[in-house]
């Protein structure tokens, strides 16, 4: 067995795990950690014959690692070393090392939280920070803390920041290993690339072939760019000895394995790959890397509620990983399609998937695990609370959890199937209706990339027909996807039949009997928030309130309702990529648990009246609307609406006649007297309508009906009996003056009540009359015999002493027949020209 750099630190690693339950191993690309470490742990005393579970982020890496370790032992996979990946398992009774993909560990933990028979879990390539790897580590840490204090956890990576993960694991040892010491020369662009990525890549590939020996590994963001780059290369008249191969997750595993094998002597290959080749996988013969500097990652938008693939620049850590692929077997060269000046501006590390993913799968797993609050677990990056709350809401809508956050029986089944909760909800509802076969096919299609990306029609029924047609697959890239979809659909169908103990014959009969818009109903089960109502041809309103459109006119553009399963989340409105037709009859028959009936009360500004409409809604979509019957109107809500209208438009909505205005003004004056009297300003009353007006408006619906209220009675109703008595005494409507006349008080300005009285009627009155417990003097308008003001004052005594004598001269000249005494304080008051004898 040839020596690898990791061999130098394995004794240190073994010693660390002998003393500590956990450890962190940082090993550069090419060190050999993936295949040497599990084998080295097999003989450890603490393992005590138990199994080792090693997580790999990708199926190809898992199978390749297991195959290579088995070959080192002179065995086949399934003996000492085996693997578990989706749709393929090779383990046996003698298996001691199981290489699994990330979701498999979660299922193992949910089935047996103590992981009986497992001595160690190895998290390989943890720097990729997939959602399932973060979840698996959090569950493993709790299992270790509560159930298995002898369980070992080892986190392995090439570019991970080691200190934070070591602290999370309990301040454990960090073991570091260098990779192979093969230099890699790095070339940057002289200026920023302005060409399309495929054209720029082909130019650099030709340069790399001319300047170097060996195979070329090219990193591109996705399969579309790979296909277009391959087409350009095929038209470039390359030498016959140069082969163009693809490497991405949609290829069959056999073709993936072919892509990483060394070429025959005298031949070269160009491997066009996605990030699948970034770690764990060694592509034999590669000495040159061409890096586009881009990667495609899922991005979840809380605003739209959708996850879309987004092309973003790679991180510096990923760029170094890719660069290292050129130096694993010999000195190499890396060509980067960006400038050296741009390099420092790349993010240092990629964003963990848990920080921006749609979290309903994680939230369901935690609910099944028995965790309501994710902070109960230890996380390297905790799930963001707003994304987690949104995930819980979706799970509740899908009947995966109940109102208390506990998993329902459906939720348990979804988790056991290892399927996204949306698709799980669709399968379980389909099983009840006998539509399981079609639902499983749809779920498998939605788990793959679009089988007909070139097809203009967004109708998913065409994809279903394509899957069932059995015709020759023209596009090579579709062949593997079609096979995977068929195998996955059959696996899910078998699992649900067994889980629910369904009678197969009955299911087949029901499947044969059901025709029509089945696909639309099934998709609506999975995506109730994406049921769409046509606003105009090709443009739709989704149940979640977002707009959507079909890019080109086609048959579905004229459907009144759609069930949408795939959207492009960019822009104000989302572009519909995949959908199925739905009818209003389908919604009312099959989806009653998603719509709601409500009475909507609105204020009609033009009619100045409340209008009640009965609306059947499905989220933001109004399915049916009509006038509501009076008996169905909630009187409290109606009262709320009227009070809101009064608050908005003010006292003009109420029948405030002269008497009501005067009473309100008197109450305002009295409120100046002390805190035992409530503030009675219009602003205060408008803010307290609920207490004094609400009891009197039940059954009323308009401004016209409000005008029939007796506002004097309503305002008096705010006062106690003693307050009414005091109001009449302290703020009277009339004041009896010395002449015996009852003169009305003008309260138009509550801050300055006015008493307009002829001067002669006040003879003998020394002080100005005062209101509200004596704190507010009235404003006296002293009138001539012709009832014209001759003086305005609040200080009557000063008037008698100073001003009266000047005014007397004028009045006596103009009104000689009237009584104008020299001493008004002892004179007899009169409401006549002269006092009676």
Q: Supply the CATH number for residue 211's domain.
A: 3.40.50.300
The interaxial angle of helices 518-526 and 460-469, nearest 10 deg, is: 110
438 and 566 fall within a common domain: yes
Last residue of a domain, one of 671, 695, 729: 729
Q: What is the pLDDT of residue 57?
A: 86
- Rounded Cα distance between 40 and 35, Å, is 9
- Rounded Cα distance between 734 and 742, Å, is 6
Q: Positive or negative, the Cα torsion across 747, 753, 759, 761?
A: positive
Q: Residue 581 domain-assigned?
A: yes
Q: Residue 384 domain-assigned?
A: no
Strand segments, DSSP code E, in 210-367 are: 215-219, 242-247, 268-273, 286-291, 294-301, 306-313, 332-339
149 and 241 fall within a common domain: no
Q: What is the pLDDT of residue 759?
A: 92
pLDDT tens digit sequence for 549-594: 998 888 899 999 999 998 886 677 888 989 999 998 888 889 888 8
Burial class (CB in 10 A: 0-12, 13-18, 19+), 280: buried
712 and 571 fall within a common domain: no
Burial class (CB in 10 A: 0-12, 13-18, 19+), 512: exposed
Location of structure tokens 């209208």: 645
Q: What is the pLDDT of residue 181?
A: 61
Q: What is the pLDDT of residue 498?
A: 86
150 and 210 fall within a common domain: no
pLDDT tens digit sequence for 171-229: 999 999 876 668 899 999 999 888 899 999 999 999 999 999 889 999 999 888 998 99
Q: What is the pLDDT of residue 310?
A: 82
Q: Which residues pair with 821 in a beta bridge?
A: none
Q: Residue 615 domain-assigned?
A: no
Q: What is the pLDDT of residue 253?
A: 67
Q: What is the pLDDT of residue 306?
A: 66
- Rounded Cα distance between 415 and 110, Å, is 9
Q: Which residues pair with 537 in a beta bridge?
A: none
Domain with 769 in it? 732-814
159 and 238 fall within a common domain: no
Number of domains in the chain: 5
Nearest CA to 199 out of 301, 82, 292 is that of: 292
- Rounded Cα distance between 541 and 526, Å, is 18
Query: If you ran DSSP here, which 8-state letter would residue 352 be given?
Result: P
100 and 217 fall within a common domain: no
Q: Residue 379 domain-assigned?
A: no
Structure tokens at 157: 């990576």
667 and 740 fall within a common domain: no
Check: CB of residue 785 under 8 Å from CB of residue 758: yes
Q: What is the pTM of this model?
A: 0.75
141 and 73 fall within a common domain: yes
124 and 193 fall within a common domain: no
Please give the angle made by the CA atoms of 755, 757 and 758, to the nearest 5 degrees: 160
Q: What is the pLDDT of residue 672?
A: 87
Last residue of a domain, one of 589, 604, 633: 589
Nearest CA to 565 out of 704, 670, 464 is that of: 464
Q: What is the pLDDT of residue 789?
A: 93
Structure tokens at 621: 């979509």
Structure tokens at 117: 């028979």
Q: Which residues of the chain have pLDDT under 50?
A: 472-474, 506, 509-516
Provide the pairing of β-strand 184-189 with 332-339.
parallel
Structure tokens at 659: 């008497």
- Rounded Cα distance between 139 and 143, Å, is 6
Q: What is the pLDDT of residue 400?
A: 94
């Amino acid at each position: 067995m040839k020596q690898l750099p990791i061999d130098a630190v394995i004794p240190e690693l073994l010693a660390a795990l002998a003393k500590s339950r956990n450890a962190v191993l940082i090993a550069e690309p090419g060190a050999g950690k993936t295949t040497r470490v599990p084998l080295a742990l097999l003989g450890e005393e603490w393992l005590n014959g138990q199994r080792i579970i090693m997580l790999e982020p990708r199926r190809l890496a898992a199978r390749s690692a297991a195959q290579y370790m088995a070959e080192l032992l002179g065995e086949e996979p399934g003996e000492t070393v085996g693997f578990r990946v989706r749709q393929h398992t090779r383990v046996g009774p003698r298996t001691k090392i199981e290489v699994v993909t990330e979701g498999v560990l979660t299922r193992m933990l949910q089935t047996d939280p103590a992981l009986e028979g497992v001595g160690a879990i190895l998290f390989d390539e943890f720097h990729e920070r997939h959602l399932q790897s973060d979840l698996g580590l959090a569950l493993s840490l709790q299992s270790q803390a509560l159930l298995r204090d002898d369980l070992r956890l080892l986190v392995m990576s090439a570019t991970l920041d080691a200190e934070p993960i070591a602290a999370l694991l309990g301040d454990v040892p960090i073991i570091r290993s260098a990779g192979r010491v093969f230099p890699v020369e790095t070339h940057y662009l002289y200026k920023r690339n302005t060409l399309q990525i495929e054209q720029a890549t082909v130019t650099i590939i030709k340069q790399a072939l001319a300047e170097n020996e060996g195979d070329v590994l090219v990193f591109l963001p996705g399969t579309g760019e790979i296909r277009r780059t391959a087409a350009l290369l095929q038209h470039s008249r390359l030498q016959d000895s140069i082969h163009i191969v693809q490497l991405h997750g949609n290829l069959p595993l056999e073709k993936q394995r072919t892509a990483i094998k060394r070429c025959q002597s005298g031949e070269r290959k160009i491997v066009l790959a996605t990030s699948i080749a970034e770690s764990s996988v060694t592509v034999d013969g590669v000495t040159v890397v061409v890096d586009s500097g881009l990667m495609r990652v899922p991005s979840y938008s809380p605003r739209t509620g959708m996850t879309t693939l987004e092309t973003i620049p790679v991180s510096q850590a990923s760029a170094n990983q890719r660069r290292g692929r050129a130096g694993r077997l010999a000195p190499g060269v890396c060509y980067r399609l960006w400038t050296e000046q741009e390099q420092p501006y790349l993010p240092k590390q990629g964003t963990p998937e848990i920080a921006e993913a749609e979290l309903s799968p994680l939230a369901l797993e935690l609910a099944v695990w028995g965790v309501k609050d994710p902070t109960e677990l230890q996380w390297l990056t905790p799930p963001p609370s707003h994304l987690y709350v949104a995930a819980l809401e979706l799970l509740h809508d899908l009947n995966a959890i109940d109102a208390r956050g506990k998993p329902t029986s459906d939720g348990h089944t979804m988790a056991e199937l290892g399927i996204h909760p949306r698709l799980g909800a669709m399968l379980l509802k389909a099983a009840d209706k006998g539509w399981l076969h079609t639902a499983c096919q749809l779920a498998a299609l939605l788990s793959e990339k679009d089988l007909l990306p070139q097809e203009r029609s967004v109708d998913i029924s065409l994809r279903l027909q394509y899957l069932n047609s059995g015709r020759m697959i023209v596009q090579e890239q579709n062949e593997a996807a079609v096979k995977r979809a068929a195998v996955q659909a059959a696996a899910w169908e078998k699992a649900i039949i067994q889980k629910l103990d369904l009678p197969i014959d009955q299911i087949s009969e029901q499947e044969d009997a059901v025709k029509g818009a089945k696909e639309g109903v099934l998709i609506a089960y999975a995506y109730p928030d994406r049921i769409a109502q046509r606003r105009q041809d090709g443009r739709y309103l989704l149940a979640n309130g977002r707009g959507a459109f079909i890019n080109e006119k086609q048959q579905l553009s004229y459907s009144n309702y759609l069930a949408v399963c795939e959207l492009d989340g960019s822009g104000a409105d989302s572009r519909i990529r995949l959908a199925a037709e739905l009818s209003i009859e389908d919604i009312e028959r099959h989806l009653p648990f998603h719509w709601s009936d409500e009475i909507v009360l609105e204020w009609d500004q033009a009619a100045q009246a409340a209008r009640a409409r009965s609306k059947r809604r499905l989220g933001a979509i109004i399915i049916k609307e009509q006038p509501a019957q009076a008996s169905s109107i909630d009187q409290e809500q109606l009262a709320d609406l009227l009070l809101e209208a009064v608050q908005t438009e003010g006292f003009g909505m109420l029948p405030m006649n002269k008497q009501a205005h005067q009473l309100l003004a008197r109450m305002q004056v009295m409120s100046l007297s002390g805190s035992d009297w409530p503030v009675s300003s219009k602003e205060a009353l408008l803010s307290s309508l609920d207490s004094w007006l609400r009891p009197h408006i039940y059954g009323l619906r308009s401004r016209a009906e409000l005008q029939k209220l007796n506002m004097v009675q309503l305002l008096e109703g705010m006062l106690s009996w003693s307050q009414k008595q005091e109001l009449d005494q302290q703020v009277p409507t009339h004041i009896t003056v010395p002449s015996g006349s009852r003169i009305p008080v003008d309260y138009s300005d509550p801050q300055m009540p006015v008493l307009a009285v002829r001067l002669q009627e006040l003879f003998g009155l020394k002080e100005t009359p005062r209101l509200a417990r004596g704190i507010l003097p009235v404003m006296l308008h002293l009138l001539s015999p012709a009832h014209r003001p001759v003086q305005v004052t609040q200080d009557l005594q000063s008037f008698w002493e100073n001003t009266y004598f000047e005014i007397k001269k004028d009045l006596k000249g103009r009104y000689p027949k009237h009584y104008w005494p020299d001493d008004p304080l002892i004179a007899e008051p009169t409401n006549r020209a002269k006092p009676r004898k």
